[in-house]
Structure 1
Amino acid sequence: MFGKSSTAFEVQIRREGRWTIEGTYDDERRALASARSWLAVSGVEEVKALKFRSLAGLSLETVIFQKAVPVVKDKPMALGGTAEGAPYCTAPGDLYGFESRVVTGRLLRPFLDKFRITPTELLHSWTYLRKLDEQGLLLGAALQAVARHHADRHGVAVPARARELRAFADAVMARARDFQGERKALPAFDPADLSRSSRVLAAAVGEERHDFAFLSQLTIHLADRNSLAGKLEMLLDLIGPDVEPRHLASLDGVMADALGSAELVKELLGAQPNLALGLCALADLILGRDPQPKSEPVSPLLAHIGALIVQGRAPCCRAVLLERIQQSLNGTQPLDRRDPKKEALLADHLATHLRDPQGRLLGGAEVQKALARRLIRHRQAILREQGMHDIADRLSGR
């Protein structure tokens, strides 16, 4: 096996549970160096080096090095936001609604961003629902958060409401699992002819199951892209001038799901000079105004969505972008990080810019409150810089 050499060395590695020989050597130092180098190779689970000695026709084997590659476990995911606004669902089907998906997107944002999927894709995919369930505490934490919100708003008992929501989630999982088994027998999804795809699908599954099956097939179609921006592009390509209202509503909903990702919106806005101009750019899109001279051009994808919003064809996208404006105003990031002292001036400019031609403020009272809270925080910061902490504290109680 080793020629004329009476002593030889062998390096073996384990991948996916299987051992293979990666090299033989006649020098121990070279064998050890090779073994250690394999520890840094992706996919290698364990490495060992063996010494073979021939003695009186016998081969003696000794392990001189063996080390397993440490398994790096992902940190447990935490919830990405609150359950504020979660509708009171009374049946599993309510979880597919737009308002429910908005809250799902907020609560499960770390999970959704990790796999680059939308809430609609999650709810219609057995693969991702199973991955979510395997996360351990994440799904339970989300259901508990919603149960507590419902307890505060509707006076229900948290434990009982959490069990009811878990039953709804289990029903959604079962539905996605069943579709996984039957989807290959269904008519093929044709993105070039949504009307025909929809008709033959309804004939195959019945009108009652059409919407779920249609969205399930759509999410399979979106799986060809591994980024939210890419999926957004695919969705926009499906919206032709003759798209049927029912299909437009579905596409608008999935696009709005994608826009629930703050990272995606930031990417589509481009390198805006500051947060204030970024929010102004969103307002311009919603209201159909020309962008401000100092703003950076937004992505063509976002401009396309803005055109659909102005035409009244993307109400869900409009609602999500309005919520993004409100959340940004409620956040702690200055309107201009480079010059926080301009906060009051920029807030006033933004308040003016957020009004439509009739003088109505986008987002209404909630955006007005968010602007007011931001100005109060700014005044408090100025007072504290001057050592007037008591006055700043009293200001917060206004």
Structure 2
Amino acid sequence: MFGKGSSSYEVQSRRDGRWQIEGAFTDQEAALSCARSQLAGGGVEEVKVVKFRTLAGLSLETVILNKKVPVGVKKALVLGGSAEGAPFCRTLDDLYGFESRVVIGRLLRPFLDAQRLTPTELLHSWPAYRKLEEQGALLGAAVHAVARHHGDLHGIAVPDRVRVLRGLVVSASSRARDFLAERKRLPGFDDRDLDATSRRIDAVVGEGGHDTLFLSLLTLHLAEGGTLPGKLEQLLVLMHNAEPRHLALFDGVAADVVGSADTLKELLGEQPSLAMGLCALADALHGRDPEPGGLLGAPPSSALTRLCDLAIRERAPLSRIVLIDRLRQALAGDQPLDRRDPKTEGALLRTITERLTGADGRLLGGAAMSKALDRRMLRHRQTVLRDQGMHDIADRLSMR
């Protein structure tokens, strides 16, 4: 008698005791999916989905989902970072691309490190997909994080973007599943004759499908490496005399490996402080021997030194990009350069700047690195001023 009316849904989350609206939807399933992704994304204490319905001039409100994060129990894996920089993927090739894998590596870092996987392996391995799906809403949380980033950046509807991204993920997982089913009928990966491997691949799928199948076969080969540093060792052997066609693919996976902060820390060796680790990495990227005098700790591993040598010779440009960005991110972070003596922050920052500067006077990372250094120095000056009770002056510095 009154008609069906209209319904809308609102996702609300409680963080640090305060409620906020995460999104509004016209589709119930989309709202529930968003709520589950908020729970998996971490940092929330409680999530609600509220249904609003207009009927005969009346507004009815119903809570259709209300979940609290349990306290004192083992927490499930959550997202490891933000979706900043996520490319606007329209095709599977976009999803497999370098920029996409960088963001996948950041978002799913806790899962990838726990499983000792690279983003490339995740995209090409059906068993890896299955393990990710076993983490509950983690994959959905990553998809929603990227969709929200695209919504903020491009002014598009988040639910629509979620559907597109989910479709790409399903297509990628289906391709990985098909590869696993057909693996016995496909060419093998001959690490001693890469050209022959490529010729056999081209004969089966054509040049257009070469890279996808080559990487799928490579993921099986890398499984023998076990740890991420072990996989980097395998890649370095393959990269030694590789032709450009193969070298570009190996470089992309090597960049995946060093995108892991824990793996890079292991490759850098025992370093007494963040400053020493940054100096060691900067020296390696410049091809310099560590300077004597006690500033640096252990020398970087042979694997990291060899990868940096390839980067210097322009044979590993993607790895170079990731390593420089790891330097930038560390400088932009809040961790003291030396926890043992925070008062040395200013002096250490000047030393790091010297190490980042090449013989040609150019700074590794260019303007982005310069900005990170400036912000770190600003925070140090503010800390010094506040320690002396000059809070107003410290506050005014940030306004410049």
TM-score (norm 2): 0.79
Counterpart check, 1:280 vs 2:282: no
Counterpart check, 1:395 vs 2:397: yes
Whole-angstrom CA distance in 2 between matches of 1:292 and 1:107: 36
Counterpart check, 1:131 vs 2:131: yes
Letter in 2 for 1:280: C
Whole-angstrom CA distance in 1 between matches of 2:312 and 2:371: 25
Shift of 1:252: 0.6
Whole-angstrom CA distance in 2 between matches of 1:109 and 1:272: 23
Shift of 1:385: 2.0
Counterpart check, 1:171 vs 2:171: yes
Deviates more, 1:294-303 or 1:94-103: 294-303
Q: Deviations over 1:113-136 (max 9, x none)?
A: 110010000000011112212322
Letter in 2 for 1:302: L
Letter in 2 for 1:110: P
Deviates more, 1:332-341 or 1:257-266: 332-341
Whole-angstrom CA distance in 2 between matches of 1:202 and 1:334: 51
Whole-angstrom CA distance in 2 between matches of 1:75 and 1:221: 33
Alignment of 1:272-311 (within 5 A): 272-293=271-292, 294=294, 295=296, 296-311=298-313
Shift of 1:287: 1.7
Number of corresponding residues: 326
Show the counterpart of 2:24: none
List alignment gaps of at least 5 residues for structure 1. 1-71
Whole-angstrom CA distance in 2 between matches of 1:258 and 1:164: 28
Which secondary structure state, in structure 2, belongs to the residue aligned with residue 238 of structure 1?
A: helix
Show the counterpart of 1:357: 359
Identity in percent = 60
Shift of 1:74: 5.7
Which secondary structure state, in structure 1, belongs to the residue aligned with residue 192 of structure 2?
A: coil
Which secondary structure state, in structure 2, belongs to the residue aligned with residue 272 of structure 1?
A: coil
Show the counterpart of 1:244: 243
Shift of 1:390: 3.0
Counterpart check, 1:202 vs 2:202: yes
Show the counterpart of 2:92: 92
Shift of 1:92: 2.1
Q: Deviations over 1:171-190 (max 9, x none)?
A: 11111111111111112211
Whole-angstrom CA distance in 2 between matches of 1:322 and 1:283: 8
Letter in 2 for 1:311: R
Which secondary structure state, in structure 1, belongs to the residue aligned with residue 338 of structure 2?
A: coil
Shift of 1:73: 8.5
Show the counterpart of 1:341: 343
Shift of 1:397: 2.5
Check whether the contact 1:376–1:395 (CA below 8 A) recurs between aligned residues. Answer: yes
Shift of 1:395: 2.5
Check whether the contact 1:379–1:392 (CA below 8 A) recurs between aligned residues. Answer: yes
Letter in 2 for 1:256: A
Q: Deviations over 1:263-314 (max 9, x none)?
A: 1111111112322221122112222222222322110111111111111100
Show the counterpart of 1:322: 324
Deviates more, 1:257-266 or 1:360-369: 360-369
Which secondary structure state, in structure 2, belongs to the residue aligned with residue 254 of structure 1?
A: helix
Letter in 1 for 2:184: K
List alignment gaps of at least 5 residues for structure 2. 1-71
Alignment of 1:64-103 (within 5 A): 75-103=75-103
Check whether the contact 1:281–1:292 (CA below 8 A) recurs between aligned residues. Answer: no
Which secondary structure state, in structure 1, belongs to the residue aligned with residue 319 of structure 2?
A: helix
Letter in 2 for 1:176: A
Give me the CA root mean square deviation.
1.6
Show the counterpart of 1:187: 187
Letter in 1 for 2:284: L
Whole-angstrom CA distance in 2 between matches of 1:268 and 1:96: 26
Cα pair distance change 1:269/1:103, threshold 3 Å: same
Runs of at least 4 residues off by over 4 Å: none
Letter in 1 for 2:395: D
Check whether the contact 1:118–1:254 (CA below 8 A) recurs between aligned residues. Answer: yes
Larger Rg: 1
TM-score (norm 1): 0.79
Which secondary structure state, in structure 1, belongs to the residue aligned with residue 239 of structure 2?
A: coil
Letter in 2 for 1:182: E
